[in-house]
Structure formats: C-alpha cells, structure tokens
Amino acid sequence: MRLLKAGRLILLLKLTIVLGSIWMLSLFSYPKTSWDPTYILSYSWLEYTDADGIPETACNCSAILRGEREALEEAKLLSITRDFRESVHIPDEYYINATQDCREFQLSRKYLTIPLSQEEEDFPLAYSIVVHHKVDNFERLLRAIYAPHNIYCIHVDKKSEPSVFSAVMAITSCFPNTFMVSQPVTVVYAAWPRVQADLNCMADLYKASTKWKYFINLCGQDFPLKTNLEIVRMLRSLKGGNSLESEQMPDEKKWRVTSSHKIVDGGIQWAGKAKEPPPFNLPILSGNAYIVVNRGYVRSVLEDNRIQTLIEWAKDTYSPDEFLWATIQRIPGVPGATWPNSKYDMSDMNAIARLVKWQWHEGSQGSLEAVYPECHGNHVRSICVYGAGDLKWMLEQHHLFANKFDTDTDPIAVYCLEKYLRQKALAELQ
C-alpha cells in the first residue's frame, strides 16, 4: 500500500514537472517565482486561487463556508451587482474558441488530467449529464467531476440554441472519455423524453466501457458536494447497493400513472383516457429523476424484459422520471434492488443521490414540518437555487450532489464550492 503510494507520487511528480514546464512556457499567469519543488509538489498550480484573476476572488470563501454573516452579506451585495454578474459570465463563444487548442484549454481551466489515486482509478464512474442551456454552469460542473478514468455522456436537448450545442460539443471533443449522446431527443418537461435522454446515455455508456462500476445522472445545474475520492468511498460503502429516492406513492400523485398523456406543442397534456394498470402488477413507487445505481441496475434497465415492458407502459404517463427509477429499484432480481415493502422505503434525504431544497419543506429546526433551513438564494419552480449562505449547511449533508446552482444568479456559491472541493482533492493526496 505504502509502496504503491510512493510509486504514484513519483509518477505524479514526473507528470507535474512535465506539465509544470508546459505551464511556465504558456502565457498564463504563472507566478514569477523561482523553481520551487515544494510548490510543484503541493499542486498549488491546480488550485483555484486569486492568481486566476477572476472576479469571484473578491469574496472570502473560507468565511462564507463557515457561514460568517458579514462575508455572506458582502457576497450577496456582490452577486446582485449587474456588472459583477456580467463579468463572471463565460459566453458560449469562449468555449468554442478556447477548445481549438485542447491542451491549453485543459491547462488554463485546470482540469485534473491524471487520476489522483489508485483507489479512484480502480473504481471508475459513468456519468450521464443532460444540458439545455447555461454552458458555463455545465462546464464548471464537468471540471469539478472530471477524472480521466471516468466516462461522461452528455445529452444536449435538441431544442437548445445552436451555440449551446456547438460549445458543449467543442468541450467534449477535448477529452477522450467525454462524448455527446448518439441519439439526442427533444426534452419535454414532465414527459417521457426526459427519461429517454438518460436511457440513451445509459445505453451509450454501457456499450462504451465495461469497466465502470456506478452510474450517476446529472443535469447542467447540479454540482458535487464531495470530491471524486469521497464519492468513490461512499459508493464502495454501499456494497453493491443503489441509492435513490423510492417511496410509496402519495394518493395525490396517483393520477400521473392512472391517466394517459400526450405531447402537444412541446408540452404534456391529458389524453382524455385512463391507463391500464402497470404490467405484472408492479407496485409503482415515487422518487425523483436523479439516481446513483450500480452497473447491474443499468444492465437490467437495458436488457430485462420486465423493465422493457414497464418502459413501454410508462411512455404516456406524467413525469415518468419521478417514478420509473424508483419502481425499478424495487423489482426482484435487479442488482442492488430492495423489496417493495414500505420498510425499505428511502426518502430523498436518506438517499445520497441528490440534495434538493423544496420550498414547502423549508423551515426552522425543531418544527415538525420542516426538513431543511430556509433557502438563501431564490426559488425556481419551487426549488431553491442555492446562494452562498446555503453552503455551510449543504456541506454537512451526506449527498454526493446538490441541485440547483446557477452562476448567473449566485456565482459565488459555485465559486466557493468548486474552490473548496479542489483544495480538498489536492489535500487528500498528501
């Protein structure tokens, strides 16, 4: 174990020297100090620092992560300033141009292009990411979760702006292990195509590599709360299990699966008739669109005849993304599945897949109704778009990812989070 670590350190050192010299030759703002091996070894050139010269460095992230009021107030003032928000935004055109030289793009954006540990390399992950706008949000997410031994399938909604498509395509073309989904679809909110987007990526990922152990699906406005090493360790501790919301369906949601729907003018409508009961009398469970599942679960989704039948049945339901994965998780024989009995129900707060703050569950600790503290950002469709003031609480949770972030609304929340995670990942090396 120790030997392995030493060997890896030497490899890293060699690579860093090579990369370090490219770095110095390049035009980026490498600090003009003399050659200092400890500096190189400490990887600080991969850290996000004030030397990056981006506007967000004006705020004090360590104070923000501790929830200090003064720093949070300053951050809030800054993030509501129009000039600041505009200066922070990275336009699609930047990505289209900057990716013409992939190596320079990787270096200047500080991508981690070597595995940071054997443990991570031995436990590759597969990601499906659906995107339809806000390329800079997506790129910062990719940068935060990127590792050369993982694999990433990106689905860009067919109705997205051409510049979104071009920019995401340009970014993915810079990495051998990131690719555009082979069959993109037009996503309709709360309708079947949202699931189809993930299914198409699942199939591509399953075919592209036999090595990955877990599948995680994301959207462009998610962000990790853990480093890759922490994610790997938490997944290993699941011991082959899956982690996703899967609970008894509340009565007020049952119409979603008992009546038939159709897509009209890019929206979903009631089709005016009732649906047949689900195939094999499968109990339909309630969950959400975001899951953390093992490779066997994905194989079942793609190959198990019962699930193929369930999928066909689900195509005219309302919001199938919010029950399909949850239902499959309780089908006997699916790897990592649990029995349908309610004793195995798992809530979104107990699953590690995704942290979401729903407006109606916010409140103060001690009240029976409240699930989490008030949102410090603002709400979109009743979901909290996190502000810097949410970070302290979020980092105390066990979830791997949180939804929703928006660099156009609160760039500081994303900045402090990405900076924290990068620092932590590099510190884990020591």
Ligand X SMILES: *[C@@H]1O[C@H](CO)[C@@H](O)[C@H](O)[C@H]1NC(C)=O
Cite the active site residues: 322
| Dihedral, 211, 217, 220, 224 alpha carbons, nearest 10 | -80
Nearer to ligand X, 100 or 182 (CB): 100
Candidates 30-38, 56-64, 167-175, 311-319; binding stretch for ligand X (CB under 6 A): 56-64
DSSP label of 275: P
Binding span for ligand X by CB under 6 A among 4-12, 95-103, 245-253, 344-352 = 95-103
Contact between 68 and ligand X (CB under 6 A)? Answer: yes
Q: Which of 41, 63, 208, 263 binds ligand X (CB under 6 A)?
A: 63
**Does residue 101 touch ligand X according to CB under 6 A?**
yes
Q: How near is the Cβ of 412 to ligand X at its closest, in Å? A: 13
d(CA 2, CA 222): 36
Q: Which of 21, 87, 100, 350 binds ligand X (CB under 6 A)?
A: 100
3-state secondary structure 188-225: CCCCHHHHHHHHHHHHHHHHHCCCCCEEEEEECCEEEC
DSSP 26: S
Question: Helix or strand or coil: residue 285?
Answer: strand
26 binds ligand X (CB under 6 A): no
Contact in structure between 234 and 226 (CB atoms under 8 Å)? yes
Give the SS3 label for residue 61: helix
The window from 32-40, 43-51, 57-65, 294-302 that contacts ligand X (CB under 6 A) reads 57-65
Residues 239-268 interacting with ligand X (rule: CB under 6 A) = none
Nearer to ligand X, 95 or 138 (CB): 95
**Are β-strands 151-156 and 125-131 bridged in parallel, bridged antiparallel, or unpaired?**
parallel
98 binds ligand X (CB under 6 A): yes
Size of the site for ligand X (CB under 6 A): 9
> If binding is defined by CB under 6 A, does position 97 make contact with ligand X?
yes
- Residue closest to ligand X (Cβ): 63
**Position 349 contacts ligand X (CB under 6 A):** no
Q: What gap in Å lies between CA 100 and CA 134, rounded to an integer? A: 20
In the complex, minimum distance from the CB of residue 108 to ligand X, in angstroms, rounded to a whole number: 9
- Check binding of 359 to ligand X (CB under 6 A): no
Q: Which is nearer to ligand X, 98 or 153 (CB)?
A: 98
Q: Where does this chain touch ligand X (CB under 6 A) — which range of 59-67, 111-119, 250-258, 350-358?
A: 59-67
104 part of the interface to ligand X, by CB under 6 A: yes
Encoding tokens for residue 185?
A: 């679809």
For residues 144 and 224, is the Cβ–Cβ distance under 8 A?
yes
Let me know: does 406 contact 385? Beta carbons within 8 Å.
yes
How many angstroms separate the Cα of 69 from the Cα of each of 62, 74, 196, 289, 388?
12, 9, 44, 34, 11
Point out which residues bind ligand X (CB under 6 A).
60, 62-63, 68, 97-98, 100-101, 104
